[in-house]
Amino acid sequence: MRPEPGGCCCRRPLRANGCVANGQVRNGYVRSSAAAAAAAAGQVHHVTQNGGLYKKPFNEAFEETPMLVAVLTYVGYGVLTLFGYLRDFLRYWRIEKCHYATEREEQKDFVPLYQDFENFYTRNLYMRIRDNWNRPICSVPGARMDIMERQSHDYNWSFRYTGNTIKGVINMGSYNYLGFARNTGSCQEAAAKVLEEYGVGVCSTRQEIGNLDKHEELEKLVASFLGVEAAMAYGMGFATNSMNIPALVSKGCLILSDELNHASLVLGARLSGATIRVFKHNNMQSLEKLLKDAIVCGQPRTRRPWKKILILVEGIYSMEGSIVRLPEVIALKKKYKAYLYLDEAHSIGALGPAGRGVVDYFGLDPEDVDVMMGTFTKSFGASGGYIGGKKELIDYLRTHSHSAVYATSLSPPVVQQIITSMKCIMGKDGTTLGKECVQQLAENTRYFRRRLKEMGFIIYGNEDSPVVPLMLYMPAKIGAFGREMLKRNIGVVVVGFPATPIIESRARFCLSAAHTKEILDTALKEIDEVGDLLQLKYSRHRLVPLLDRPFDETTYEETED
């Protein structure tokens, strides 16, 4: 055991390895089977407990794709591609009717707007199972929702609404972690009052005449909620990232971004003009190596020292269900004098004993994180984003952020919803409702994950994360799972390529404090049934320890614009 950065000794967190016999390929490198065999032998839950960094067990598992399943998945995609080419051929020669829209007659001699191949995937694979996405609902997105029924008579090219609604569908897809998506209750009443008083729109930017007293109130509240000096709120979570990262870094700075970061973070990093280097997902050795190399070698070619180094991580990664190893990241950041940008879109409100996010979950000091960003869409049932940090940071953003100058501020009833829900979570409204919701969510998470693992499904991610990805792998099962669950009155989210790697398609459940035990039990029963029907129970049933990814010496990808 070598000394950890920060001076304490620690046992490296180990990662799951299902298949022992043959070396599995995951994300490009082969796991050494010897290490896997040694680790998988017998141990049920390996717990990382090191001197000071982790105060409680950090259990994260990503079971290996079974070899047979991987092969069959590739075969499946191969068959689909072949059929895709066949159908394109038939459409080109007009043997089959072309359902999709085409260019105008007058513009036929323009350069084509889309290259044929770009849309190959959309036309031939996505179209077949398109009915699993964009399902319109007509009620509150709470624990149960009403879905508008739609039919397609031409294999998903066009939909027709029958006029019926499927009522009371269990909602396992909406980001409603604390159950604040409600149309009754104190939040709704307060928002209604503000709507009456202030109206709906703002029609101006923050720097001009769009800064309402409500916004100032909100920002003070957010700062006290997070435990930071000051905060600033923006109208859209996506825009918060894409417009503020360019304000913080520029050419001559280095951004170290996690492999699986959200599109908004990637876009913000690209727009800033800084050099971007990607480290393996949640892999601290990869990050440390990049930091060391960056400081020692400096900027590429000129060798000048970097102006700043910014590490971009997320609290909970929504596709994997993993939680960032924040104590280690902070230790690294302190040692190498880098800055940390933490995107808590999914983790704020959903993690931690007080619901204050991933910093609260690990019991760390919010001052250690330089920029705490988050959104109000998930746990607060509103919309918008915020950034919290030291007063100098927020002062700078107030003057230099693109959003403050050019984009509209938040709508007043939305602001009031955030204020009421945040006060509720903090307990400032005089009830214990917030605390109960946070606890209910944690219980639901543990219960649901444990039951699914016992049933034999492969579940990714951390034990405590309310985002539960259930692996499907094969393309046909994506469509089948979504449809079968809807038949049984449960709405789930299924994701495939390109949001996930091509063979790792999954169904993603988002748990909520609004889900009662009965709802969860019903859902689990149906998932069990569908799992048997579609043969989804791939797990080798070993609740395995966490093995660190043996990462590759040949390392980082550097992307420069």
Partner 1 sequence: MATAAEQWVLVEMVQALYEAPAYHLILEGILILWIIRLLFSKTYKLQERSDLTVKEKEELIEEWQPEPLVPPISKDHPALNYNIVSGPPSHSIVVNGKECINFASFNFLGLLDNPRVKAAALASLKKYGVGTCGPRGFYGTFDVHLDLEDRLAKFMKTEEAIIYSYGFATIASAIPAYSKRGDIVFVDRAACFAIQKGLQASRSNIKLFEHNDMADLERLLKEQEIEDQKNPRKARVTRRFIVVEGLYMNTGTICPLPELVQLKYKYKARIFLEESLSFGVLGEHGRGVTEHFGINIDDIDLISANMENALASIGGFCCGRSFVIDHQRLSGQGYCFSASLPPLLAAAAIEALNIMEENPGITFEPRKSDCRLH
Instruction: Please give the residues from 318 up to 337 whose contact with partner 1 meets the rule CB under 8 A.
Output: 336-337
Cα separations (Å) of 167 from 24, 171, 181, 530? 44, 11, 17, 21
Q: Which stretch binds partner 1 (CB under 8 A): 20-28, 36-44, 352-360, 394-402?
A: 394-402
For partner 1, which residue of 122, 162, 431, 516 counts as binding (CB under 8 A)?
Answer: 122
Q: Which stretch binds partner 1 (CB under 8 A): 208-216, 427-435, 439-447, 530-538?
A: 208-216
For partner 1, which residue of 22, 32, 152, 399 counts as binding (CB under 8 A)?
Answer: 399
371-375 and 339-343 strand pairing: parallel
The residue among 20 and 397 lying less far from partner 1, judged by its C-beta, is 397
Residue 522 binds partner 1, judged by CB under 8 A: no
Residue 115 binds partner 1, judged by CB under 8 A: yes
- Interior angle at CA 272, CA 269 and CA 276, nearest 5: 45
Cis peptide preceding 475, ω within 30 of 0: no
List the interface residues with partner 1, window 212-241 (CB under 8 A).
Answer: 212-213, 216, 235-239
Q: Are the CB atoms for 197 and 411 separated by under 8 Å?
A: no
Q: CB of 67: closest distance to partner 1 in angstroms?
A: 31
Q: Are the CB atoms for 556 and 497 separated by under 8 Å?
A: no
Residue 159 CB neighbour total at 10 angstroms:
16
For partner 1, which residue of 8, 192, 502, 533 counts as binding (CB under 8 A)?
Answer: 192
For partner 1, which residue of 339, 473, 481, 509 counts as binding (CB under 8 A)?
Answer: 339
DSSP code of residue 429: T
How many angstroms separate the first and last alpha carbons of the chain? 40
Residue 299 binds partner 1, judged by CB under 8 A: no
Cα separations (Å) of 536 from 65, 106, 397, 504? 12, 51, 48, 13
Residue 162 binds partner 1, judged by CB under 8 A: no
Q: CB of 176: closest distance to partner 1 in angstroms?
A: 5
Residue 402 binds partner 1, judged by CB under 8 A: yes
Residue 148 binds partner 1, judged by CB under 8 A: yes
Residue 259 binds partner 1, judged by CB under 8 A: no
DSSP code of residue 469: E
Residue 338 binds partner 1, judged by CB under 8 A: yes
Residue 296 binds partner 1, judged by CB under 8 A: yes
- What does the alpha-carbon distance between residue 407 and residue 208 come to, in Å, rounded to a whole number? 10
Residue 380 binds partner 1, judged by CB under 8 A: yes
Residue 204 binds partner 1, judged by CB under 8 A: yes
Burial environment of residue 92 by CB neighbours within 10 A (0 to 12, 13 to 18, 19 or more) = exposed
Q: CB of 493: closest distance to partner 1 in angstroms?
A: 5
Among 445, 457, 459, CA closest to 529: 457
- Interior angle at CA 253, CA 248 and CA 255, nearest 5: 80
Q: Which stretch binds partner 1 (CB under 8 A): 6-14, 42-50, 134-142, 323-331?
A: 134-142
Residue 393 binds partner 1, judged by CB under 8 A: yes
Question: Total binding residues for partner 1 by CB under 8 A?
Answer: 120
The residue among 33 and 207 lying less far from partner 1, judged by its C-beta, is 207
The residue among 47 and 137 lying less far from partner 1, judged by its C-beta, is 137
Query: Residues near 392 by Cβ (< 8 Å), separated by ≥ 6?
Result: none
Q: CB of 27: closest distance to partner 1 in angstroms?
A: 22
Q: CB of 406: closest distance to partner 1 in angstroms?
A: 4
In the block, tokens 């839950």 appear at: 45
The residue among 74 and 133 lying less far from partner 1, judged by its C-beta, is 133
Beta bridge partners of 29: 26
- What does the alpha-carbon distance between residue 176 and residue 512 come to, in Å, rounded to a whole number? 6
Residue 88 binds partner 1, judged by CB under 8 A: no
- What does the alpha-carbon distance between residue 178 and residue 380 come to, in Å, rounded to a whole number? 7
